[in-house]
Amino acid sequence: MATSPLSLSSKPPSITRLRHQRPPLTTVRASAATVTTTTGMPDHHHPSLEITGGGADRFLPAFNTLHLPYKPFPIIGWNRHLETIFAAFFRTVPEVKYRRECLRTQDNGTIALDWVYGDHPSLPSDSPILILLPGLTGGSQDSYVKHMLVKAKSKGWRVVVFNSRGCANSPVTTPQLQTASFTADTCHVVDHVSSRYPKASIYAVGWSLGGNILVNYLGREHRRCSLSGAVSLCNPFNLVIADENLRKGFNNIYDRALRGGLSRTFDKHASLFEEMHDEYNVQAGLNPRTVREYDEAITRVSLGYKSVDEYYSNSCSCHVVQHVRIPLLCIQAANDPIAPIEATPCSDIKDNPNCMLIVTPQGGHLGWVAGDDAPFGAPWTDNVVIEFLEHLQKNASKPESS
């Protein structure tokens, strides 16, 4: 559950190298010629990828890059905290001009969509569309969002950023901000985009909390989902585990950064909540000590949960992976400090013929400082995501005009 850039401080803090340990996974190791099953972590000196999922054999032909070893950028990519903070502060931010469209929801809320300026008249009406869902308090201004946008646009795709309520300076018209489990807004956005471009195939990519929101939508709304494919990156999956992990050791720095972003957003719109003071703890929302305290004071109340633990438990996308009915690629980093790998529902992904999971040995959170564009350019994941989406689009049957 993160946003980029992290609101940590003007200068990155000192970094202490921590060792990440976890039990071995059963993996499929991809090579140019064969696919074999192995057990255990890749060799430390020759890092490779762990690939699993019920749809792995089906989707592996999509990729031209997965036979290559994952090579983290020297020094930066060797420590998960350094990589996470470096990507947040020092990754380049491409220039992108947006055209904003605000949608009104049934509960009188407002969603802000940022379309790439000039695409509407210049691209064919059946051009594939990519909806981007940023992380917690993130939006269309974030570097990882813009890099993916530029990559997809270069392939002739139409791209739109779905800014959750209150994010990216979007207007707030009801006492509800971004949440992990509220899928009604995602339904509204997908339906709107589908009706606007009925001849186009539509896909989605979500990062961190945006990935959790996306997978929740895919699983809960699988009977009405009109997406043709999706990608989830650094998804916390199990918010109960992620919450506990976020308050451990050095990870407190991310908790402080995230709660700062939440409180700043809330401060802009606190007047909407003050008239309901008996329900919301406005003062705790303005000055929360942790993300958990903010969610207890504000988020769980807006959704009608009795406690923050109930909110977290009912917002876990790991519970609905088994119901996903469209192609879904999940990419996680084994050393992610914010979305711990042990929260990933490997068994359900393995049992679902529509899902594929790639685990990189390094990457941090929203980092993946590796590949030809490292250290300042696009994350390593961008090429992998585009290969997957283009493979789906190549084999997709376009929906008929409504």
Instruction: Give just the sign of the alpha carbon dihedral 77, 80, 82, 88.
Output: positive
Q: What pLDDT is stored for residue 9 in this prediction?
A: 34
Residue ranges of the domains in the chain? 26-238+316-391, 239-315
Q: What pLDDT is stored for residue 28 in this prediction?
A: 46
* Whole-Å CA distances, 101 to 120, 149, 207: 13, 17, 22
Q: Which active-site residues does the annotation give? A: 208, 336, 365
- Helix intervals (H) in 202-290: 209-220, 239-246, 252-268, 270-274, 282-286
Q: What pLDDT is stored for residue 30 in this prediction?
A: 43
Q: What pLDDT is stored for residue 40 in this prediction?
A: 38
CATH topology of domain 26-238+316-391: Rossmann fold (3.40.50)
- Separation CA 184–CA 166 (nearest Å): 16
- Separation CA 238–CA 64 (nearest Å): 31
The DSSP annotation for 76-88 comes to: GGGSHHHHHHHHH
Q: What pLDDT is stored for residue 164 in this prediction?
A: 96
Residue 38, Cβ neighbours under 10 Å: how many?
14
* β-strand partners of 115: 99, 160
Token pair, residue 215, equals 């997978």
Cα 40 from chain centroid (whole Å): 27
pLDDT, block means (10 residues), the chain with 402 residues: 41 35 42 35 52 96 90 96 98 98 96 95 96 97 98 98 96 94 95 97 98 98 96 98 95 96 95 83 95 96 95 98 98 98 98 98 98 97 98 74 37
Helices and strands in the chain: count of H runs, count of E runs: 15, 11
- Separation CA 63–CA 61 (nearest Å): 6
Q: What pLDDT is stored for residue 402 in this prediction?
A: 34
Q: What pLDDT is stored for residue 277 in this prediction?
A: 63
| Backbone angle region of 366, left / alpha / beta, with phi > 0 → left and psi within -120 to 50 → alpha | left
Q: What pLDDT is stored for residue 67 in this prediction?
A: 85
Using alpha carbons only, what angle is made at residue 120 by residues 218 and 92, rounded to the nearest 5 degrees? Answer: 70
- Separation CA 296–CA 302 (nearest Å): 10
Q: What is the DSSP letter of 6?
A: -
